[in-house]
Homo-oligomer: A and B are copies of this chain.
Amino acid sequence: MTARFVAKRSSGGAESVFCRAARRERVERTPVWFMRQAGRVLPEYRAVRERFSLVEICRRPDLCAEVTLQPLRRMPLDAAVLFSDIVLPLIAIGVDVEIVDGVGPVVRDAVRDAAGVRRLRAVEPNEDLPYLTETIRLLARELHPQRAVLGFAGAPFTLASYLIEGRASRHFLRTKQMLYANPALWHELMSRLTSITVATLRAQVRAGADAVQLFDSWVGALGPADYAEFVQPHVRRIFAELAPEGVPMVHFGVHTAGLLDLMKDDGATIIGLDWHLLLDEAWERIGHDLGVQGNLDPAALFGPPNALERRAADVLARAANRPGHIFNLGHGLHPETPLANVMHLVDFVHNESTRLRSAAATAAFASP
């Protein structure tokens, strides 16, 4: 176990399958959870959303915990990921963001100058996000010690892109324009967002989260040189400041195949992989002293069960019983995904990974 893997075993879910796998210990089966597992794929979630907005749910710990737990009541998922949105901390410090169905966050006054950047004050989680930590406490009480509670926050690049573009962007031209034309302002913006991210994640861990995931969904828009210069220092600060908390830390982005050689050294203990590369090759490049999470194409859940099983089995075969694999999709569940396929996949991953382990044990026993 290398230095960067010193994880204390103090969290309430530290002995769950998820946490043991996340620490790269041997486990009896591969743990599985899905990004966006709590959400529109579930009819019971859609029923809640008829009465409450996404932000209203997040601000009511009882309701937020219930929504977070909904998928675990249906399926034996190994972790509950806090139901939230990456812009929640921004809303909490007064940024005028609306979360529009089918569009995502829409920022009324896009941040494009020094005055806009200066308005981004620090987050005081106890004051600004009391509901977030309270929800984590409720989840910990419900799930520990068998299952893990996973906290999360948006990464500064992805947050910055929403603030600068005003909404989800295809080409990130204004964002890149700022980092090319005004690197000092860019770094000031990133620095403030980094502080917000650290405070948000640290509060979740101290409230009982067993692990955290940094969502840098759009960082793959950058080439490696721009990542190294404009993002990496901030991501490294996040993981360095969180490392003393002693929980596994996942770094996830989409289209990061060209960035993995950089990301692997940024301090995360687990790299979240999308589906655009083969898990075994990516893990080889990242190094086996880190864990990996992923990496089934979320579209596979739209196929027939045999096609879905074949692809999920391929992911598990490439993980090859190696300690440190957490099964997930390569990105979030699409809202229109057939729920029966999602439930089937959880069982398949558990059964198939158990079978692979027992086959490997038999082979080891049989060999001279």
Q: Report A174 CB to chain B, min CB distance, Å.
A: 8
Q: Which of A170-209 contact B (CB under 8 A)?
A: 171-173, 176-177, 180-181
Q: Is the beta-carbon distance between B176 and A223 smaller than 8 angstroms?
A: no
**Set of chain B residues within 8 Å of A302, measured between Cβ atoms:** 173, 176-177, 180
Q: Is the beta-carbon distance between B181 and A307 smaller than 8 angstroms?
A: yes
Of A4-12, A51-59, A157-165, A271-279, which stretch is located at the interface?
A271-279
Q: Is the beta-carbon distance between A180 and B304 smaller than 8 angstroms?
A: yes
Cβ 8 A contact of A334, one of B173, B257, B278, B297: B173
Q: Which of A286-335 contact B (CB under 8 A)?
A: 297-300, 302-304, 307-308, 311, 314, 330, 334
**Set of chain B residues within 8 Å of A314, measured between Cβ atoms:** 225
Cβ 8 A contact of A180, one of B171, B220, B258, B303: B303
Q: Is the beta-carbon distance between B258 and A276 smaller than 8 angstroms?
A: yes
Interface centre among A176, A223, A275, A297 (most CB of B within 10 A): A223
| 22 intermolecular pairs with C-beta atoms under 8 Å apart | A173-B299, A173-B334, A176-B302, A177-B302, A177-B303, A180-B302, A180-B304, A180-B308, A181-B304, A181-B307, A220-B255, A222-B276, A223-B276, A223-B278, A223-B297, A223-B330, A224-B277, A224-B278, A225-B311, A258-B276, A258-B278, A259-B276
